[in-house]
Amino acid sequence: FPVLVCIRFPAPFLQGLIPWWFLWFCRVRAGDSGWLPWRARGRRCTLPAWPSPRATAACPRSASNPRTGVRLRFICLEHASRLGRFPMERICSLSDQMLCSTARNPSGRPRDKLDKSYEFNSHLTISFSETSGGIPHCFPQFGPGPMQQHGFARNVNWSITDSEVTEGDPTVTLELKDDSYSRSMWDFSFQALYKVVLHSTSLSTTLKIINTDDKPFSFTSALHTYFSASIAGVSVKGLKGSKTLNKDPDPKNPLEGKEERDEVTFPGFVDCVYLGAPSELTLDNGLGDKIVISNTNWSDAVLWNPHLQMEACYKDFVCVENAKRLKQYNWVQKNLGWQSRKLNLSEANGLRTVQCGEYVVKGPFYVSANVNMCHSPMYFNL
């Protein structure tokens, strides 16, 4: 009975009467958070505030995936409160199908070292190798290359350094620093800062790479943006005249060329790097949305759709990626940095990205990064 009271009638006054550990216990039993590792580590973390009725209405706690029929649970409100001032109502109002979840990383090992199965919210199991989506970070290598494809930044835990509201827009900054895992592949000391701002109808992201080593280093990078789409109707405008490195058929020996088309379409497999791409591209996602992708300092772009290599879902998404110097490395001296300034995605009806794998989840903003909160590994998606 007390468990039910906690979950179903979480009136604020109740929280004041019930000890924090009892509320924690209720939530664990309910499977609401799935995994609260600070307890296991002997740490106590402030319990999240209960969602306000307004927020609850704006962001349903579960929804069925129209494609698979799988019922998904949303726990974004808990994340909102853990982020302190981060107003999740605002984020939720951007979509009713946004997934924000914790995931379980029992061993604390980097994701690429985990077994195939990864637990989401203790209700969903997704297969890592088949899962793509959101805006993974390709750093310090946009593959292929000497280290793992697209580098290690998308596989490891980032931490939240700041969350605030800037001129009414929720903003969160994530940080990644070198550790023994990154040094085993790339022996440099660095700091990467990733700032995400949710404007009312657009998303902007800034990636900053700072060399904290004694020696200069070089890197290549990309923000691997997945958009949901109806691939037969997709076109990208703005690339005419750019130099191309076509990774089809051999990604390790891309063919040099020049884009002659006003609109690039996706009739089959596409994997192409555009060198010196313009600072603004327009994506028609084939679903009735025109998405403007503008940037500063991302010198290159990548278009990718796997076609039959991902038969189950290739029709539902397209990647239009901002990238940095994919032919020539970027040298960064000690204490100096490179900043991408802005990847600004905007369009009238909101954005969608797709997660492709065992489950397909569509939502307007699906920014994924592993973050550390309360010294526990969590998987955070906006």
Ligand X SMILES: O=P(O)(O)OC[C@H]1O[C@@H](O)[C@H](O)[C@@H](O)[C@@H]1O
Minimum CB distance to ligand X, residue 249 (Å): 12
Minimum CB distance to ligand X, residue 251 (Å): 5
Q: Does the active-site annotation cover 224?
A: yes
Is 27 an interacting residue with respect to ligand X (CB under 6 A)?
A: no
Q: Which of 279, 281, 283 lies closest to 296, judged by CA? A: 279
List Cα–Cα distances, 218 to 19, 175, 205, in angstroms.
52, 19, 22
> Of the residues 79, 224, 259, 347, which is catalytic?
224
Contact 103, 118 (CB under 8 A): yes
Among 32, 178, 259, 271, interactor with ligand X by CB under 6 A: 271
The string of DSSP codes covering 29-97 is: HHTSSS--HHHHTT---PPPPPPPHHHHHHS-SEEE-TTT--EEE--HHHHHHHTTT--HHHHHHT-SS
Q: Does the active-site annotation cover 321?
A: yes
Pick between residue 73 and residue 137 the one whose CB is nearest to ligand X. Answer: 137
> Could you give the angle at the alpha carbon of 211 between the alpha carbons of 207 and 216, nearest 5°?
130
Is 242 an interacting residue with respect to ligand X (CB under 6 A)?
A: no
Is 149 an interacting residue with respect to ligand X (CB under 6 A)?
A: yes
Paired sense of beta strands 368-373 and 157-166, if any: parallel
Pick between residue 210 and residue 281 the one whose CB is nearest to ligand X. Answer: 281
Is 247 an interacting residue with respect to ligand X (CB under 6 A)?
A: yes
Among 251, 278, 337, 350, interactor with ligand X by CB under 6 A: 251
> Of the residues 78, 89, 259, 321, which is catalytic?
321
Contact 183, 176 (CB under 8 A): no
Is 132 an interacting residue with respect to ligand X (CB under 6 A)?
A: yes
Contact 312, 353 (CB under 8 A): no
Looking only at residues 317 through 336 of this chain, which bind ligand X when binding is defined by CB under 6 A?
319, 321
Pick between residue 251 and residue 337 the one whose CB is nearest to ligand X. Answer: 251
Q: Which of 30, 83, 36, 76 lies closest to 56, judged by CA? A: 76
Give contact residues for ligand X (rule: CB under 6 A): 132, 149-150, 224, 247, 251, 271, 302, 304, 319, 321
| Catalytic annotation, residues | 224, 321
